[in-house]
Amino acid sequence: MILEHRMLYCFKIFLVNECCYKGVVHVKIKEVFELFNIKAPSSLEHVWEDEITGITDDSRNVTPGQIFTAVEGYETDGHDYIEEACRKGAALIVGHKNPGDISVPFLFVHHPRKALGMLAAAYYQYPAGNKTMIGVTGTNGKTTVTHLLHHLVEAGGLSCGRLGTVENYLNGKTIQGFQTTPGVVDLHKWLYESRDEVIVMEVSSHGLEQYRLEGVTFDITIFTNLQQDHLDYHRSMEEYFQAKSKLFFMMKEGGQAIVNTDDSWGERLSCLLSDQGEPVTSTGSEKSSDIQIQEVDDHGIRFNENGQLFYYSTPIAGVYNSYNTLQACTAAEHLGVSKQRMVHALKSFPGIPGRFEQYSLANGAHVIIDYAHTADSIRHLLQAAGRKYEGEITHVFGFRGNRDESKRPAMLHASSEWSDRYILTLDDLNTVPYEEMTASLQKLHEQEGWIGGTVIPDRVSALKTALETSEEGDVVVITGKGHERYQQAYHLPYSSDRETVQSLCNAVKAGVHPSS
Ligand SMILES: CC(=O)N[C@H]1[C@@H](OP(=O)(O)OP(=O)(O)OC[C@H]2O[C@@H](n3ccc(=O)[nH]c3=O)[C@H](O)[C@@H]2O)O[C@H](CO)[C@@H](O)[C@@H]1O[C@H](C)C(=O)N[C@@H](C)C(=O)N[C@H](CCC(=O)O)C(=O)O
Ligand SMILES: Nc1ncnc2c1ncn2[C@@H]1O[C@H](COP(=O)(O)OP(=O)(O)OP(=O)(O)O)[C@@H](O)[C@H]1O
């Protein structure tokens, strides 16, 4: 595996005329065949020298001169759209099923998704090779670590781009995306266009499974944790772990993995990497950890490194955010940012939309809006809220339609245990009918919930009830949507949890620092 990726990286076939770097990309049909070690057939000699104009796996976006790669998907089969791609002027079709009689050259490959990545990497001149690439994976913490790291790297004087769930940020500008890890063509295009020295990106298990990282190699990889999630996609935790592990075998020569070994899956990963001679820095409480955690709480983390004690104050509340801070700082230090500079920079961290986002209400109550959507993250969050505020906790949350249903009872148990009352409400329906989701909420509440809970399907009404019944010192914790906009309409026309809270209560945003 390692060999395969490293060979691909070293064995770059420079399809592109180097003098046109950052200009127009020139790739000839003949060179595309060479990329796959196939001699272009002489019957295609008349098009050998034709330059392709781009790459896509979506027939709806084909423009003349592009390569269309047919991907067999979960919903439909890209091979069914080959004719459409031909009609729209595709110069070459790539796929793994015989397309029959078509007017456009066809290149057979075994793995179209992988081929798409290889083509995109080559077309955009292997842009990851020119940058310091940092990949962050794990069930929770990817967004938090990438945002922290971005802030620290820039504080260290390097320009930094960031790709992930909340937004993509390149060349100092935001590019909206719809995925945590972008599609492989966008990824290589964005890296090619980026003038940032460092790129820090969230790497999802879906992205790894679907070759969205093909042709990218990393200088630093980070593992935060593995918790039950996405078992609608991965068939077991073992498969989920195997998918996440792939990232750690996509390293550049001299690359460094940073692994949280206080997570049992992280411990296993760290051993796996060590056994294979891969450079790994373990961060954990065990004496054997490279960075040994001595003490960790909502405010910061004390650790021993090479016999010396250090402390980072965490800029976002929650013990788990102290872990996130340590991992981000460890990575930034590998890039040459000093501990002293980081201690200072953490004080000016602006926070992350929808991650422990705090508001104060006029009646002296508080609100936390957060993206927690696993049982573990709900538990950690409610515990942190309980330590921070003395009053009662009302937890408002729901479940995404068409997503891992097996985690729902555990999420409800965590809520019942760590809040004083919960309100089950709607999250994104994702095509599940309203009545069906409402009935599942009710059923779950009756079977797994407790008397301190209730079901109010309309999310805005649920928030209104929670806010109106809060008293001085209480905290309303709203989870699931975080920074995201609502996908369906509720009885008042608000578009996000933040807007609902601000509009209903004229709430004032509180500082991001745990002590504030
Ligand atoms: C379930 C899943 O992961 N789906 C991904 C998958 O789509 P798919 O296989 O279902 O595609 P499909 O609709 O069957 O289409 C197959 C092929 O036919 C093509 N097509 C389709 C229709 C047409 O008219 N013409 C055409 O050419 C499509 O472009 C595609 O190439 O392959 C697509 C291309 O790579 C992805 O964009 C798509 O991600 C969907 C949209 C998605 O958002 N998935 C989520 C679950 C996801 O990836 N989430 C993770 C974060 C998870 C986390 O929270 O950690 C992420 O990285 O965002
Ligand atoms: N290290 C962590 N361990 C456990 N829970 C965490 C950790 N970091 C963050 N969380 C919780 O998970 C939520 C999501 O965090 P974050 O957005 O950083 O994770 P993510 O991996 O990017 O999630 P997603 O893949 O869903 O976008 C946070 O709002 C918080 O409640």
With a 6 A CB cut-off, is 76 part of the ligand 1 pocket? yes
* Ligand with an atom nearest the CA of residue 184: 1
- Residue 24: which pLDDT band, with cuts at 50, 70 and 90? low
Architecture of the domain defined by 127-346: 3-Layer(aba) Sandwich (3.40)
Per-residue pLDDT, 512: 60
Spacing, Cα 411 to ligand 2 middle (Å): 14
With a 6 A CB cut-off, is 230 part of the ligand 2 pocket? no
Nearest CA to ligand 1 atom 25: 59
pLDDT (average), residues 229-251: 90
The CATH number of 357-514 is 3.90.190.20
Residue 1 has pLDDT above 90, yes or no: no
- CA 295 from chain center: how many Å? 28
Spacing, Cα 454 to ligand 2 middle (Å): 26
Per-residue pLDDT, 230: 75
With a 6 A CB cut-off, is 379 part of the ligand 2 pocket? no
Per-residue pLDDT, 6: 31
CA proximity to 77, closest of 96, 55, 49: 96
- Give tens-digit pLDDT for 275-314: 999 999 999 999 999 999 999 999 999 999 999 999 999 9
Per-residue pLDDT, 40: 84
Per-residue pLDDT, 91: 96
With a 6 A CB cut-off, is 323 part of the ligand 2 pocket? yes
Nearest CA to ligand 1 atom 42: 179
Q: CA-CA distance, 398 to 396, in Å (whole number)?
A: 7
The CATH number of 26-123 is 3.40.1390.10
Residue 303 to residues 129, 270, 283, 307: CA-CA distances in angstroms? 33, 19, 9, 10
Residue 5 has pLDDT above 90, yes or no: no
Please report which helix (H) or strand (E) contains residue 255, including its range.
strand 251-260
Per-residue pLDDT, 472: 95
- Give tens-digit pLDDT for 216-237: 999 999 999 998 777 778 889 9
With a 6 A CB cut-off, is 180 part of the ligand 2 pocket? yes
CA proximity to 396, closest of 365, 418, 425: 425
With a 6 A CB cut-off, is 142 part of the ligand 2 pocket? yes
- Residue 318: which pLDDT band, with cuts at 50, 70 and 90? very high
* Ligand with an atom nearest the CA of residue 353: 2
Residue 11 has pLDDT above 60, yes or no: no
Residue 39 has pLDDT above 90, yes or no: no
Spacing, Cα 460 to ligand 2 middle (Å): 24
> Cβ distance 496 to 465 under 8 Å?
no
- Give tens-digit pLDDT for 433-492: 999 999 999 999 999 998 889 999 999 999 999 999 999 999 999 999 999 999 999 999
- Give tens-digit pLDDT for 137-150: 999 999 999 999 99
- Give tens-digit pLDDT for 396-424: 999 999 998 999 999 999 999 999 999 99
With a 6 A CB cut-off, is 60 part of the ligand 1 pocket? yes
With a 6 A CB cut-off, is 381 part of the ligand 2 pocket? yes
Per-residue pLDDT, 176: 87
Nearest CA to ligand 2 atom 29: 371
With a 6 A CB cut-off, is 59 part of the ligand 1 pocket? yes
Atom of ligand 1 nearest to the CA of 85: 27
- CA 441 from chain center: how many Å? 27
Per-residue pLDDT, 507: 63
Nearest CA to ligand 2 atom 26: 140
Spacing, Cα 201 to ligand 2 middle (Å): 14
Beta strand pairing call for 280-284 and 291-296: parallel
Per-residue pLDDT, 23: 56
Question: What does the mean pLDDT of the chain come to?
Answer: 92
With a 6 A CB cut-off, is 213 part of the ligand 1 pocket? no
Spacing, Cα 482 to ligand 2 middle (Å): 10
Residue 26 has pLDDT above 90, yes or no: no
Nearest CA to ligand 1 atom 26: 58
- Give tens-digit pLDDT for 44-61: 899 989 999 999 999 999
With a 6 A CB cut-off, is 162 part of the ligand 2 pocket? no
399 Cβ neighbours under 8 A, 6+ residues apart: 405, 408, 411, 427, 437, 440, 441, 480
So where are the chain's domains? 26-123, 127-346, 357-514
**Which residue type is seen at 118?**
M
With a 6 A CB cut-off, is 225 part of the ligand 2 pocket? yes
Instruction: Please state the pTM of the whole predicted model.
Output: 0.91
Atom of ligand 2 nearest to the CA of 354: 29
pLDDT (average), residues 89-107: 94
Per-residue pLDDT, 14: 33
Residue 336 has pLDDT above 60, yes or no: yes
Start-end of H helices in 17-81:
29-35
438: β partners: none
Nearest CA to ligand 1 atom 1: 74
Q: Which of 79, 94, 116, 179 to mutate to test the pocket of ligand 1 (most atoms within 8 A of CB)?
A: 179
Per-residue pLDDT, 194: 96
Residue 22 has pLDDT above 70, yes or no: no
368: β partners: 358, 477
Query: What's the complex ipTM?
Result: 0.96
Per-residue pLDDT, 161: 98
Per-residue pLDDT, 7: 32
> Cβ distance 145 to 165 under 8 Å?
no
Q: CA-CA distance, 107 to 94, in Å (whole number)?
A: 5
Residue 180 has pLDDT above 60, yes or no: yes
- Residue 12: which pLDDT band, with cuts at 50, 70 and 90? very low
Nearest CA to ligand 2 atom 27: 165
